[in-house]
């Protein structure tokens, strides 16, 4: 860990500063040498597994890290990590136990993306807990990227997934209570836990990501959010990094949020700077109603640097690296 910190500091400050001044002096020989040192330092960061996720999901990141530590790949790690949350019937925003739409249907959206840029997703999936695994099957066992509704369900059943009732007593009771007034309003932070988006870097330095959600509570029947839309809820470019989103999906879709974050990193921004700029694109729109909704991003770059940022407070990222599985409180835009 200490060595890693030293390498990181050296690569980002000492070497970087020296590199900068050397380039200014136009000394090509020294510059090339330092560029080599710099890239060696960055390369040394490869092979150190990392998992980050939206919200407070230490059990999920622990599962993902267990896979990475055993030499598993990032794709298996993010799938297995997301499954932990999907299986937790107490969680009312993902998988089994998710809050239903206004008609009482629990409908799930999920996506997954690998190091090659392959991706799969499911939208409006009912009666199957592990939407993220169905998304992976779409990616690996069909010529398509996205399956929806009954087609997604039938595909899942054909692949051996079990059909089950996802509406728990607790979620049914909450829905019955909501129906008394039946007022639909996006809630800024749903109990500090919403869409689970996860990014992992494995021992080979390869990146994968996944996203899973039951979407907005009491949404209109048929509504789909950002999570299954590649580039919005999730985007991975194994040469650059990855990003996942949480919060009000409509606003993420309108700015193609996760793709934007990755492209900003490609242009040289750090994951933190990229997340902040992507939130800026939402809140700085003319007539933005940002005071009434939440969006949060979590990003990682190829060097293993991470960032997170949200519109409002109380968003956090869970990060597991170097044996430490911890929550990091996100900085946020709306400090007024
Ligand atoms: N971010 C999840 C959704 O809007 O459905």
Q: Over its length of 336 residues, how does the chain's per-residue pLDDT go in tens digits?
A: 333 333 333 333 333 333 333 233 333 333 344 344 444 444 455 679 999 999 999 999 999 999 999 999 999 999 999 999 999 988 888 999 899 999 999 999 999 999 999 999 999 999 999 999 999 999 999 999 999 999 999 999 999 999 999 999 999 999 999 889 887 666 655 444 578 999 999 999 999 999 999 999 899 999 999 999 999 999 999 999 999 999 999 999 999 999 999 999 999 999 999 999 999 999 999 999 999 899 999 999 999 999 999 999 999 999 999 999 999 999 999 998
Token pair in block for residue 303: 């060097």
Which of 184, 233, 244 has most ligand 1 atoms within 8 Å of its beta carbon, as the pocket-test mutant? 233
For residue 157, the CA-to-ligand 1 centroid distance in Å is 25
- Give the CATH architecture of domain 47-332: 4-Layer Sandwich (3.60)
For residue 224, the CA-to-ligand 1 centroid distance in Å is: 8
Nearest C-alpha neighbor of 22 from the set 35, 7, 3: 35
Taking alpha carbons only, the member of 329, 71, 58 closest to residue 198 is 58
The span from the CA of 16 to the CA of 12, in Å, is 5
pLDDT in tens, 250-264: 999 999 999 999 999
Q: Are 265 and 299 spatial neighbours (Cβ–Cβ below 8 Å)? A: yes
| Ligand 1 atom, smallest distance to 233 CA | 1
Closest among 51, 101, 105 to 79, alpha carbons compared:
51
Q: Is 22 a catalytic residue?
A: no
Catalytic annotation, pick one of 22, 61, 195, 255: 195
Q: Which two tokens stand for residue 123?
A: 């939208």
Domain residue ranges in the chain: 2-39, 47-332
321 lines ligand 1 (CB under 6 A): no
Kindly give the number of the ligand 1 atom that is closest to the alpha carbon of 248.
4
């Amino acid at each position: 860990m200490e060595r890693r910190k030293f390498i990181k500091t050296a690569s980002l400050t000492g070497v970087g500063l020296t590199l900068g001044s050397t380039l200014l002096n136009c000394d090509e020989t020294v510059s090339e040498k330092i560029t080599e040192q710099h890239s060696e330092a960055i390369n040394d960061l490869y092979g150190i597994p990392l998992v980050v996720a939206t919200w407070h999901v230490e059990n999920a990141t622990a599962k993902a890290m267990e896979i990475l530590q055993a030499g598993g790949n990032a794709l298996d790690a993010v799938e297995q990590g997301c499954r932990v949350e999907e299986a937790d019937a107490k969680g009312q925003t993902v998988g089994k136990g998710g809050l239903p739409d206004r008609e009482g249907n629990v409908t799930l959206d999920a996506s997954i993306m690998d190091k090659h840029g392959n991706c799969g997703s499911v939208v409006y999936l009912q009666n199957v807990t592990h939407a993220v695994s169905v998304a992976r099957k779409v990616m690996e066992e069909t010529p398509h990227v996205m399956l929806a509704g009954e087609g997604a369900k039938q595909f899942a059943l054909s692949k051996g997934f079990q059909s089950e009732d996802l509406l728990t007593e607790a979620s049914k009771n909450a829905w019955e209570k909501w129906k008394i007034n039946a007022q639909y309003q996006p809630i800024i932070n749903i109990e500090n836990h919403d869409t689970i988006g996860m990014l992992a870097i494995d021992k080979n330095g390869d990146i994968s990501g996944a996203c899973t959600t039951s979407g907005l509570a009491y949404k209109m029947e048929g509504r789909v959010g950002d999570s299954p839309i590649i580039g919005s809820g999730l985007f991975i470019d194994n040469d650059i990094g990855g990003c996942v989103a949480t919060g009000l999906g409509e606003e993420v879709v309108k700015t193609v949020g996760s793709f934007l974050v990755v492209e900003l990193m490609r242009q040289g921004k750090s994951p933190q700077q990229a997340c902040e700029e992507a939130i800026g694109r939402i809140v700085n729109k003319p007539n933005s109603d940002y005071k009434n909704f939440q969006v949060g991003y979590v990003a990682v770059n190829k060097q293993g640097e991470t960032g997170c940022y949200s519109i409002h407070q109380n968003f956090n990222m869970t990060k597991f690296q170097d044996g430490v599985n911890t929550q990091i409180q996100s900085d946020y835009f709306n400090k007024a």
